Amino acid sequence: MIIRTPSRVHVTLIDLNGEIGRIDGGVGFALEEPYVKIRAEKADEVVVVGESFNRERFEHVAKIFKEKFGKGMKIEVLSDYKPHVGLGSGTQISLAVGKAYSELYGLNLSTREIARITKRGGTSGIGVAAFEFGGFIVDGGHSKKVKKSFLPSAFSDAPPAPLISRLDFPDWDVCLIIPERKGFFGKREVDLFEKNTPVKIEEVRELCHIILMKLLPAVVERDLEEFSSAISRIQEIGFKRAEVNQYGEEFKKLMKKLQELGACGMSSTGPTLYLVSEEINIEEVKEIVNGYDVEIILTKGRNRGAEVEV
């Protein structure tokens, strides 16, 4: 059995104030590359082979299922990508391994059930929805009856957030600029949430206005100018501003330069920057990032979820 997942850009969390009774919420879109691809088969124990940036995570997730259901599995990693750079590798690995296990042993687990078992999607539902459906996604966050505090997904036991909008992403080019550094995870990510929440309600309201009346219509109408304007403003308000500020003024200057070529923002807690345009000249991007230690990936949005080949 072979499973191939998307990756995802996480544009922003929506409500880290909670005044009206819900928190979190997210906006993002699935990508063709990079991706996680595995070959899986039944085994008595957990075995992981193949070159991987995330061997320990593959083993950890497979052991969760072995402990719960009593059987092992062999995983051959055919492709994966760097962890903690803002592209959601942890969720995609967890769902890929869980889906493979479910298919191998006839468990018929849904994507959301796999996410609950592996504790993914407790803050943002974008990665789970990207795996399931692809496209441009908005999730509705969590009721404060279910989740009472502002925490990153890795430290939350809340279920994956409900999907409230899913649109096809336009046939625009997407360029990922991935610095050779790690983003915020673990205790550093918890500290980021604790120091910068709750967000002012006025900023949450502005962000919701931008998403509903600017960003989503721009995706439907394929209006890159409006899309770019919305993405640029999102970097400057709410929790996203706090995420971007962690990387300093030089980082923000680089983002501003890239915004001259199209829509540019930072994915999740970073440090990956994404650039979206009708057609991206990779040489122009290289000229702007010259002198920075970065990896560049040219890709597209992905309007379908993970692929399962039995």
Residue 184's pLDDT band (boundaries 50, 70, 90)? low
Question: Does residue 307 surpass a pLDDT of 70?
Answer: yes
Confidence of residue 247 (pLDDT cuts 50, 70, 90): very high
Domains of the chain and any CATH numbers: 2-309 (3.30.230.120)
Q: Which residue has the higher pLDDT, 152 or 87?
A: 87
pLDDT digits (tens, 9 = 90+) for 21-59: 999 999 999 999 999 999 999 999 999 999 999 999 999
CB atoms under 10 Å from CB of 231, counted, come to 26
For residue 31, give the amino acid letter.
Answer: L
Closest Cα to residue 276, out of 213, 236, 218?
Answer: 218
Residue range 194-207, pLDDT digits in tens: 999 999 999 999 99
What local confidence, expressed as pLDDT, does residue 45 receive? 98
**Cβ contacts of residue 225 below 8 Å, gap of 6+?**
none
Q: Distance between CA 261 and CA 282 in Å, rounded?
A: 11
What pLDDT score was predicted for residue 188? 81
Query: Span 145-165, mean pLDDT?
Result: 85
Q: What is the CA radius of gyration of the chain?
A: 19
Encode pLDDT of 132-148 as tens digits: 999 999 999 999 999 98
What pTM did the predictor assign? 0.95
pLDDT digits (tens, 9 = 90+) for 253-263: 999 999 999 99
First CA to last CA across the chain, in angstroms? 5
As a whole number, the mean pLDDT across the chain is 95
- Tell me the backbone φ, ψ of residue 237, rounded to 5 degrees: -135, 160
pLDDT, tens digit, 9 for 90 and up, residues 59-115: 999 999 999 999 999 999 999 999 999 999 999 999 999 999 999 999 999 999 999
Residue 172 has pLDDT above 80, yes or no: yes
